[in-house]
Amino acid sequence: MPYRLSVARCASAIVALCVAATQLAAAEPTSTRPNVIILLADDLGYGELQCLNPKRGKIPTPRLDAIAASGMIFTDAHSGSSVCTPTRYGLMTGRYAFRTRLQSGVLTGGESLIAADRLTIAKLLRRQGYDTAIIGKWHLGMLFDGEHRAGAVPVGAQVTHGPIDRGGFDEFHGFHHARQIETWIDDDRVTAEIEPVDMLPRLTKAAVDFVNSRKDQTAPFFLYVPWSSPHSPVVPSPTWQGKSGLNAHADFVMQTDDAFGQVIDALKANGLYENTLVICSADNGTSAPTSNLDQLQSLGHYPSGDLRGSKADIWDGGHRVPFLVSWPAVISAGSQSDSLVCLTDVTATLADLLRVPLPPNAAEDSVSFLPTLKGATTAARPAVIHHSIDGYFAIRDGNWKLACCPGSGGWTKPKPNAAWKLVDQQKLPPLQLYDLQNDLGETNNLAAEMPEKVAELRSQLDRIIAAGRSTPGPDQANDAKINVDKRKPKK
């Protein structure tokens, strides 16, 4: 009898354990296998969002403000470059683009910047059972019928070096870059010609349709939506024209804000919101020429907020970007982090989330910010490298920033050629050192007063470049020779 009682108790215990295990297995996806969406605006400065720039921002952005309120705001997040192509490369691969053949500027076509054997976010997630899709702007190289096409492309042309064969995505709907915005692509074929004004609405509908299609699917999904806006051509839809009361760029920002919100609405409508990790950001700062920056500032709107510079520049206005993360199942609403992060960090964060080890030759410049999302207050990343459109470098470590050039390194005055002339005339120092804790606007150059700090940061920059990585691991080879000193000052 005692023996039978023990067996019964054991059986009961086993049943209880099985039930607990089943419940644990059912709960596991909430913390380890969320859906992932990356929504990336094009040329949207840090100060364009009301939640980030309440005193000097005049454009209503209620949708992005709501996303920020529902999750975490990163106040010190940076794109990998102050222009488009290199930032997108860094986001997709977790590697700084200055390590590739692209040492300045952007691609207009041709072979992909992503090597065939390079790990991407899409490849990483697809190997873990995710369905993957990109809806939007690629801008990482593309061939049409095996050729580099600079202008219009005929319907029916085959696409290679694109998101399918180089990015590792299951499906692609969108276009290559702004100069080919009339060319609509589905997967690996050009399928239509569209008007530029129709691109943002079409991308928004496609993104919403994709989310709607996931309602009854069991596999998790990764959706990457690099919007076409508010980059030029600045073409807000008729219903958005004049909404801002400022100018066409501001109207386009408002329409872009609404596009972000429509994707969130679709998640909620399909019961997918709680367990979807949504990252909202931008590829670089606002473009001064196409936004009519002087006009905006005269009306009280400052697209870079309190930061100096804008798109293309080495100053923070060129690459400090909005970075909002929503994941209601994990992230506390109304959270904020001042930790230093970079768009290259998304790869390591997702690998950390899925507990997937990264190979030594992948994501060499990616640091996981998953602990921050879960409430950690210790900064994950000690330093980050900045890169301007003309290929000038800066390194940020803690509160200190060293820019290895005079002037903006980009489009804001003094531009590189004029800045170097001022150096020759001894009217401008060749290097810039700023204490961002006390000088966010980068107005007080301390390079001459603190040569030891300059030497320390420059040495750190050289080590990171030479190692082929900025994270722990074996040294890796850069794809090309990297020159930090674009022009040395005359003695």
Give a yes or no: residue 336 inside a domain.
Answer: yes
| Residue 422 token pair | 């001022």
- Do the domain assignments include residue 485? no
Q: Is residue 484 part of a domain?
A: no
- Provide the residue range defining the domain that includes 396: 386-467
- At residue 150, the pLDDT reads 86
Q: Tokens 């007063």 belong to which residue? A: 449
| 378 and 391 part of one domain | no
Length of the chain: 491
Q: Are residues 316 and 403 in the same domain?
A: no
One domain, residues 266 and 390: no
The residue written with tokens 């870059």 in the block is: 177
Residues 356 and 430 occupy one common structural domain = no
For residues 101 and 167, membership in a common domain is answered with: yes
The predicted-structure confidence for 377-405, as pLDDT tens digits, reads as follows 887 788 999 999 999 999 999 999 999 99
Q: pLDDT tens digit string along 1-46?
A: 333 333 333 333 333 333 333 333 333 444 469 999 999 999 999 9
Same domain assignment for residues 445 and 422:
yes
**Same domain? 403 vs 334:** no
Q: Are residues 330 and 397 in the same domain?
A: no
Q: Which residue, 332, 351, 382, sits at the end of a domain?
A: 382
What pLDDT, on a 0 to 100 scale, did the predictor assign at position 490? 56
Q: Clarify whether residues 392 and 320 are in a common domain.
A: no
- The 10 Å Cβ neighbour count of residue 215 is 11
Task: Spell out the SS3 assignment of the chain.
Answer: CHHHHHHHHHHHHHHHHHHHHHHHHHHHHHHHCCEEEEEEECCCCHHHCCCCCCCCCCCCCHHHHHHHHHCEEEEEEECCCCCHHHHHHHHHHCCCHHHCCCCCCCCCCECCCCCCCCCCHHHHHHCCCCEEEEEEECCCCEEECCECCCCCCCCCCEEECCHHHHHCCCEEEEECCHHHCCEEEECCEEEEECCHHHHHHHHHHHHHHHHHHCCCCCCCEEEEEECCCCCCCCCCCCCCCCCCCCCHHHHHHHHHHHHHHHHHHHHHHCCCCCCEEEEEEECCCCCHHHHCHHHHHHCCCCCCCCCCCCCCCCCHHHCECCEEEECCCCCCCCEEEEEEEEHHHHHHHHHHHHCCCCCCCCCCCCCCCHHHHCCCCCCCCCEEEEECCCCCEEEEECCEEEECCCCCCCCCCCCHHHHHHHHHCCCCCCCEEEECCCCCCCCCCCCCCCHHHHHHHHHHHHHHHHHCCCCCCCCCCCCCCCCCCCCCCCC
Mean pLDDT of all residues in the chain? 93
Same domain, 73 and 188: yes
Considering the domain boundaries, does residue 182 fall inside one? yes
Q: How far apart (Å, rounded) are the C-alpha atoms in residues 198 and 238?
A: 10
Q: Which of 363, 382, 401 is the last residue of a domain?
A: 382
- pLDDT tens profile 454-488: 999 999 999 999 999 999 999 999 999 999 998 86
Look at residue 474 and tell me if it is in a domain.
no
Residue 45 contacts by C-beta under 8 Å, 6 or more apart in sequence? 282, 285, 286, 303, 304, 305, 310, 311, 317, 321
Q: Are 40 and 226 in contact (CB under 8 A)?
A: yes
Number of domains in the chain: 2
Q: What is the CATH number of the domain that holds 405?
A: 3.30.1120.10
Domain final position from 333, 367, 382: 382
Q: What is the pLDDT of residues 331-382, one digit of tens each?
A: 999 999 999 999 999 999 999 999 999 999 999 999 999 999 999 888 778 8
Residues 318 and 425 in one domain: no
Is 23 inside a domain boundary? no
213 pLDDT above the threshold of 50: yes
Write the CATH number for 118: 3.40.720.10
CA-to-CA distance for 278 and 329, rounded, in angstroms? 12
Question: Is 1 a domain residue?
Answer: no
Quick: pLDDT tens for 267-287: 999 999 999 999 999 999 999
Report if residue 135 sits inside a domain. yes
